[in-house]
């Protein structure tokens, strides 16, 4: 090998040596850099203190004695680190003394410091650092306060050990801030010292106690409403029925009544009683009759029915009239109170006109219950009906040209047309008797005269009987003729006339005439009342006026009036009228006779 080749080989060897040395140096320098990076991220993750009584903020309270009563000589501090390398150490400095421990073999070292019963507070300073570089990686400070188990640090009446057991703050007398000390909550009220609203009803414990409610029960009175809701409503959370009306407060809310007022609608009846009887406790007058529910109960009427007795008058109207709202016919006269109001009679007096005939009976007879003497004949209606047997709507019941008053005064029969003939015959008989007596005295024929007088009387009686038979026969024959004819029944044809009537165009008297024409010229007065649905008094007054105007003829048949057109009178009545030489219709009072 020549020098040139040797020189090249040496150069190559040197170059390789340099490369190898450089690579080794790089490798050697790389390893320490990796440890530094890991150590730089190390931290103190957690610190735990032995004999700890609790922590508030950055202060940890520790017991000065063990649970067995032995004094604590030293305290241990357990530290949890994160990402600490073997060259990391943890140091604890307290009261000027520093103690360090390596983390080469553990990441959770335990350090200790001595107990100092004379110190009020002790500060623990923890430092995590790199031993090679001296770099401080993390720090942590703790204030430790040593307390006795039986002591009461916050003076709340709950000793320190009890506070720890209850989870309260040993340095705060009112842990939950509800206005009650922790001791009072635990020992007196049974509430939670860590929860301001023990029962969760929306009211703080102290507020509940101030209103007398139970802070451990959400609904103290058990009425279905929470204590908080009751205070909002103004009800008593300690009484299930605040207004003492028989309904619980929650029921009142569901019914819409006021739970603080016993009588919500002010009608004099408590809410519970109203619900029991079916009335509305929120409406003073449930049936709208003008009387409050309370007034109706007082009167004995039905607060659910506007017209308790069903007489057509509202209860309040009856009260104003003075009638009995529980009796349809207050005065017992045969007319309901509503009918009396309609007819103009007094519903509280059975005989409005005081004529001796009850209002109902007067209307039944066609008389005016507001006028004592309907026909103006001088006899009160009651006397005519009950004693004389005459028609209270006709001044001359029997049509004999002698008024009923005169006949009753003379002692004659005001219901018989033969009375005037009897009077005449009596007078003539008296005259004849005087003459015959004189003759008899002179001629001695007394016995013969007596026989003649008796014969005359018998003849007059037979004449009276024949006249009555003729009258009854005429009426019966007229009725039979109607029945055998083609006329429609009263109810049918008269009803048709009334049904077709235009109230605005047809007068009442014209309607009666149309009804009579439809019924072959005759109708009973009672049938006219039934078909028209008019009151008896109205029909009686209307027919009396039409009779006086000669529009109709009114005939008396027993206790019934037969109303006829002039041309439809019974044949016997026509015959007797032709025989009568006096003016006026023979069948009407004061204008003729049928005899």
Q: Report yes or no: 372 and 358 within 8 Å, Cβ to Cβ.
A: no
What is the pLDDT, as a whole number, of residue 23? 47
Q: Whole-angstrom Cα distance, residue 279 to residue 415?
A: 60
Q: Which two tokens stand for residue 124?
A: 């623990």
**For 150, what's the count of Cα atoms within 13 Å in the CB-facing half-sphere?**
3
What is the pLDDT, as a whole number, of residue 361? 93
Q: Which residues contact 581 (CB under 8 A, 6 or more apart)?
A: none
Q: Which two tokens stand for residue 128?
A: 């995590």
What is the pLDDT, as a whole number, of residue 456? 45
**Chain segment 217-271, per-residue pLDDT in tens:** 999 999 999 999 999 999 999 999 999 999 999 999 999 999 999 999 999 999 9
DSSP code at position 70: P
Distance of CA 330 to the CA centre of its chain: 30
What is the pLDDT, as a whole number, of residue 587? 43
Q: Which of 334, 435, 400 is nearest to 580 (CA)?
A: 400
What is the pLDDT, as a whole number, of residue 178? 94
**Chain segment 185-205, per-residue pLDDT in tens:** 999 999 999 999 999 999 999
Domain ranges of the chain: 40-149, 182-299, 329-416, 427-579
Fold for the domain defined by 427-579: Arc Repressor Mutant, subunit A (1.10.10)
Q: Report yes or no: 84 and 106 within 8 Å, Cβ to Cβ.
A: no
Q: Whole-angstrom Cα distance, residue 534 to residue 561?
A: 16
What is the pLDDT, as a whole number, of residue 483? 39
**Chain segment 408-462, per-residue pLDDT in tens:** 888 889 988 876 555 555 555 565 556 555 555 555 554 554 455 445 444 444 4
Q: Which of 306, 346, 316, 317 is nearest to 329 (CA)?
A: 346
Helix/strand/coil (H, E, C) string of 328-393? CCCCCCCCCHHHHHHHCCCCCCCCCCCCCCCHHHHHHHCCCCCCCCCCCCCCCHHHHHHHHCCCCC
Place of tokens 């350090």: 111
Q: Which two tokens stand for residue 549?
A: 């105007």
Name the percent of the chain in helix, strand, coil, to the closest 5: 40, 15, 45
Q: Whole-angstrom Cα distance, residue 280 to residue 286?
A: 6
Question: pLDDT band at residue 117, thresholds of 50, 70 and 90?
Answer: confident
Q: What are the Cα distances from residue 38, in Å, to 25, 34, 101, 203, 442?
A: 21, 7, 19, 55, 188
| pLDDT above 90 coverage of the chain, percent | 52
pLDDT at position 479 over 80: no
What is the pLDDT, as a whole number, of residue 401? 87
**For 170, what's the count of Cα atoms within 13 Å in the CB-facing half-sphere?**
27
Question: pLDDT band at residue 583, thresholds of 50, 70 and 90?
Answer: very low
**Other beta carbons within 10 Å of 189:** 18
pTM for the model: 0.51
Which H or E run includes 427?
helix 419-443
Distance of CA 260 to the CA centre of its chain: 18
Mean pLDDT value across residues 398-417: 88
3-state secondary structure of 523: strand
Q: Report yes or no: 570 and 577 within 8 Å, Cβ to Cβ.
A: no
Place of tokens 């929650």: 250
What is the pLDDT, as a whole number, of residue 450? 46
What is the pLDDT, as a whole number, of residue 65? 86
Q: Whole-angstrom Cα distance, residue 550 to residue 567?
A: 12
- Let me know if domain 40-149 sits in CATH 2.40.128.520: no
What is the pLDDT, as a whole number, of residue 69? 86
Place of tokens 């206005």: 179
* Cross-strand bridge partners of residue 102: 89
Place of tokens 């301001």: 196
What is the pLDDT, as a whole number, of residue 77? 92
pLDDT at position 503 over 70: no
3-state secondary structure of 553: strand
């Amino acid at each position: 090998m020549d020098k040139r080749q040797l020189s090249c080989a040496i150069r190559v060897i040197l170059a390789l040596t340099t490369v190898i040395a450089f690579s080794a140096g790089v490798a050697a320098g790389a390893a320490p850099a990796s440890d530094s990076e890991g150590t730089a991220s190390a931290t103190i993750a957690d610190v735990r203190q032995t004999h700890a009584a609790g922590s508030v903020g950055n202060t940890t309270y520790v017991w000065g004695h063990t649970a067995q009563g032995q004094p604590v000589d030293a305290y241990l501090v357990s530290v949890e680190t994160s990402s600490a390398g073997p060259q990391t150490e943890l140091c604890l400095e307290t009261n000027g003394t520093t103690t360090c421990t390596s983390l080469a073999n553990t990441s959770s070292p335990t350090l200790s410091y001595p107990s100092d019963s004379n110190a009020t507070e002790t500060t623990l300073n923890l430092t995590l650092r790199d031993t090679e570089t001296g770099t401080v990686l993390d720090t942590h400070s703790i204030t430790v306060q040593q307390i006795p188990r039986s002591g009461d640090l916050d003076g709340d009446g709950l000793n320190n050990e009890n506070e720890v057991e209850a989870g309260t703050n040993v340095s705060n007398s009112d842990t939950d801030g509800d206005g009650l000390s922790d001791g009072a909550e635990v020992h007196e009220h049974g509430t939670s010292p860590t929860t301001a609203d023990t029962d969760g009803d929306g009211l703080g414990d102290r507020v509940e106690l101030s209103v007398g409610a139970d802070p451990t029960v959400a609904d103290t009175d058990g009425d279905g409403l929470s204590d908080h809701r009751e205070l909002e409503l103004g009800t008593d959370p300690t009484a299930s029925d605040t207004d003492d009306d028989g309904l619980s407060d929650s029921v009142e809310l569901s019914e819409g009544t006021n739970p603080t007022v016993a009588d919500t609608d002010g009608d004099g009846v408590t809410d519970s009683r109203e619900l029991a009887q079916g009335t509305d406790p929120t409406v003073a007058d449930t049936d709208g009759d003008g009387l409050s529910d309370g007034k109706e109960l007082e009167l004995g009427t039905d607060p659910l029915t506007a017209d308790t007795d069903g007489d057509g008058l509202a209860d309040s109207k009856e009260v104003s009239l003075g009638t009995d709202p529980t009796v349809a016919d207050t005065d017992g006269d045969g007319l309901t109170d509503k009918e009396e109001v309609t007819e103009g009679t007094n519903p509280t007096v059975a005989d409005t006109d005081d004529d001796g005939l009850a209002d109902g009976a007067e209307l039944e007879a066609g008389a005016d219950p507001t006028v004592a003497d309907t026909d103006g004949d001088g006899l009160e209606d009651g006397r005519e009906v009950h004693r004389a047997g005459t028609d209270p709507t006709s001044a001359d019941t029997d049509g004999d040209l002698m008024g009923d008053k005169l006949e009753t005064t003379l002692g004659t029969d005001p219901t018989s047309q033969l009375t005037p003939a009897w009077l005449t015959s009596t007078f003539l008989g008296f005259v004849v008797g005087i003459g015959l007596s004189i003759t008899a005295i002179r001629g001695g024929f007394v016995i013969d005269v007596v026989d003649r007088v008796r014969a005359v009387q018998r003849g007059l009686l037979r004449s009276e009987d024949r006249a009555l038979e003729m009258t009854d026969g005429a009426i019966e024959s007229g009725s039979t003729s109607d029945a055998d004819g083609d006329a429609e029944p009263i109810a049918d044809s008269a009803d048709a006339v009334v049904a077709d009537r235009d109230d605005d165009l047809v007068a009442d008297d014209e309607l009666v005439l149309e009804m009579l024409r439809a019924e072959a010229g005759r109708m009973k007065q009672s049938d006219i009342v039934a078909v028209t649905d008019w009151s008896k008094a109205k029909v009686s007054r209307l027919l009396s006026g039409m009779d006086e105007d000669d529009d109709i003829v009114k005939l008396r048949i027993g206790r019934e009036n037969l109303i006829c057109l002039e041309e439809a009178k019974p044949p016997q009545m026509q015959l007797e009228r032709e025989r009568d030489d006096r003016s006026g219709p023979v069948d009407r009072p004061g204008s003729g006779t049928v005899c």
